[in-house]
Amino acid sequence: MTAVIARPRPAWFLFGGLAAIVLGLDQLTKAWIVANVAPGQVVDVVGSWVRLIFSRNDGALFGLFGSSATLFAIGSLAVLVLIVWYHARSSRSLLLSIALGLLLGGALGNLIDRLRLGYVVDFVDMGIGTLRFFTFNVGDSAISTAILLLLILALRPTPKPAVVDA
């Protein structure tokens, strides 16, 4: 008899559904900001700790590497393909499907901005006084959460696959 390793299929519905939800929330919140907050205008949400400010990011995540929107749009397309490819090749893991769905949705939201506007709309500003974190959006939050989940997956021990006698 030959042993066959059972490899469960990835959770496509969870992966795609989560990506669609993140993409929808990202684009809706950006559209609301653009329609209701002038560029540079500050709107306090929780005192000065959390505030809204419409900013245009032509760089990467959190405004790093500015003035590179076209380069990041091209890079984003490659990343999107890699995310879907990796999900297709991975075994069924709820946490991995969640992480990759968040990553896909966030990357798609920011890519749409880069292609449509030439920059990414960022609007969440957090900090105390003049000590502020980078301004970000829903897509950036999803990407950051996905990276944390992927780190957790990389650091935790992996269970051995089930062996089925054929």
Catalytic residue among 26, 113, 125, 140: 140
Contact 18, 100 (CB under 8 A): no
- The SS3 of residue 162 is coil
Contact 3, 164 (CB under 8 A): yes
* Contact (Cβ atoms closer than 8 angstroms) between residue 50 and residue 136: no
Q: Is 80 helix (H, G, I), strand (E, B) or coil?
A: helix
The reply to whether 113 belongs to the active site is no
Catalytic one among 26, 113, 122, 125?
122
Query: Nearest to residue 112, comparing CAs of 20, 5, 7?
Result: 20
DSSP run (H or E) holding 123: strand 120-128
Look-up of token digits 């969870």: 14
Active site residue 140: yes
Residues belonging to the active site: 122, 140
